[in-house]
Structure 1
Amino acid sequence: MYREWGAAGVPGAVLWGSVSGGGETRVLPDGCLDLLWSSRSGLLVAGPDRTAHLSRSAPGDRWIGLRLPPGTGPAVFGVPAEELRDRRVPLADLWGRAAAEVTERVEAALAAPGAGSAAAVLTRVARDRLRAAGGPDPVGARVAARLAAGATVAATAAEVGLGARALHRRSLTLFGYGPKTLARILRMRRALDLARAGAPLAEVAARSGYADQAHLTREVRELAGLPPSRLLAPATA
């Protein structure tokens, strides 16, 4: 069971919740950082992944998360995204005693009927941290939007007024990896969305900027660990 809904007050963020049936879940890279509460591990920060993260859980494990859009996480968590790359880190490692206060607020909300109030706690925490930081670096949203739309790294750098090296350094801080890696990840996400909407893979490859379907398959396998045909196959009981 998994669902998503909007996060009021944190532009571009998405709340999500799940109750595990047990086993392994493949989480695809998306350029985002997440603030998570886990019934097993408490409050965690999920850093930006370069490849698919395999999450293992027991039946009944619960998760509530706030997915922050690319470039926003560093302003919330107070550390460069590259320090969290490919990691799941206890929030206490980043915030110390402040994390214990957030944990108390989440646990109090969970004691009330429904999990929506716990999600609201995560949202308020992120919103307050963003305000205290003066908001996210606006370059992050501009870079992510241009790359998501299929712009080249060179064109994106020119549009935001940065040289290639400066854009790379800024991207490591904001996204956890360079703009070329972010562009590959966002292109894969765009391609998979088209495929899920029913477009044939050859058409998906052409519309997403891949040289051909074989190129699409190689890229998806490298980033997601499986070819598109397997990722898109219906789940079996």
Structure 2
Amino acid sequence: MINENPILATWSSVAETSEVFPVMPDGCRDFIIKQNPGSPPHLFVSHLMSAPQKIFAPKGTTFIGVRLKPGASIKIHRLIGHPLPDSIQGLTELAYDAASMSGNVSDMMRCLALAASPATAAGDLGVSLRTLQRHTMKITGRTPDFWRRLSRARKAARSILSGAPLHEVAPTCNFSDQAHMTRELKCWFAMTPGEISASRDDSHHPVWSICHLGYDTP
């Protein structure tokens, strides 16, 4: 089995004001070191989300993170007792030690992102649907349909943000109709297609985070 680089990206941010901000589902788990002003830093591993999660950060809170590829495995026991890294480089080294990504899983995740249905993905991978369901749950803790729907929703949101007409986005992204697309985008991102489109001119709007590296992004 060929192993791949489990890391998708590194990032950092500083809260310029005290605020509550939504984090959009992206199909990734991150190793994150968060430090509130006047408090010691702490490390945590984010979980897979199926809806936006609201995070409060006091002004001056700093974050550094390493984003793992969708489907990457995490060896939590490697984190226990490990000295807390104080830099992106140190956190990256920890991620390489505690996370892994096999080529087979990478192929599976790529196939699910592109498939019109879990059954189609199973056929493309040369396995039964039941085998795909069992393997996906074992590796990621989520069903094949979770990944397919998330990929489809992210593609649709990015297309809308790029200016594509709503009536073209729905069929292109394999929704049965615009009403179906509206339900799915509200489910994943708590926003309708119209609300996403209305946010196109505000590059600071949280919806633009959907364009960051995550599941289904080339």
Do they superpose with TM above 0.5? yes
> Which 4+ stretches in 1 moved above 3 angstroms?
9-12
1:157 is displaced (CA, Å) by 1.5
Aligned mates of 1:12, 1:156 — CA distance in 2: 24
What residue is the counterpart of 1:67 in the other structure? 67
What residue is the counterpart of 1:221 in the other structure? 186
| 2:12 equivalent among 17, 22, 46 | 17
CA contact (8 A) 2:116 2:174 kept: no
What residue is the counterpart of 1:161 in the other structure? 126
| 1:29 equivalent among 6, 25, 32 | 25
Of residues 50-59 and 152-161 in structure 1, the stretch that sits farther from structure 2 once superposed is 152-161
What residue is the counterpart of 1:84 in the other structure? none
1:183 is displaced (CA, Å) by 0.6
Secondary structure of 2:154's counterpart equals: helix
1:11 is displaced (CA, Å) by 5.2
Aligned mates of 2:127, 2:173 — CA distance in 1: 25
Is 2:38 aligned against 1:39? no
1:158 is displaced (CA, Å) by 2.5
What residue is the counterpart of 1:115 in the other structure? none
Secondary structure of 2:95's counterpart equals: helix
1:149 is displaced (CA, Å) by 1.9
What residue is the counterpart of 2:97 in the other structure? 128
**Residues matched between the structures, number:** 193
Deviations 1:189-211 (A, max 9, x none): 11111111111222111211111
Task: Give matches, 1:34-113, under 5 Å.
Answer: 34-40=30-36, 42-72=42-72, 74=73, 77-78=74-75, 95-98=79-82, 101=83, 103=84, 105-106=85-86
| Letter of the 2:187 counterpart | E
1:162 is displaced (CA, Å) by 3.0
* Structure 2 unaligned blocks of 5 or more: 206-218
1:213 is displaced (CA, Å) by 1.8
Q: 1:25 to 1:150 in 2, by over 3 A?
A: farther
Secondary structure of 1:136's counterpart equals: strand
What residue is the counterpart of 2:215 in the other structure? none
* Structure 1 unaligned blocks of 5 or more: 1-8, 80-92, 107-117
Which has more helix, going by share of residues? 1
1:161 is displaced (CA, Å) by 3.4
Aligned mates of 1:51, 1:17 — CA distance in 2: 22
With a CA cutoff of 8 Å and minimum separation of 6, indicate the structure with the bigger relative contact order. Answer: 2
1:12 is displaced (CA, Å) by 5.4
CA contact (8 A) 1:70 1:174 kept: no
Deviations 1:177-198 (A, max 9, x none): 1010111011111111111111
| Letter of the 2:181 counterpart | L
Secondary structure of 1:49's counterpart equals: coil
The alignment-based identity, stated in percent, is: 27
1:145 is displaced (CA, Å) by 1.0
What residue is the counterpart of 2:209 in the other structure? none
CA contact (8 A) 2:160 2:196 kept: no
CA contact (8 A) 2:64 2:88 kept: yes
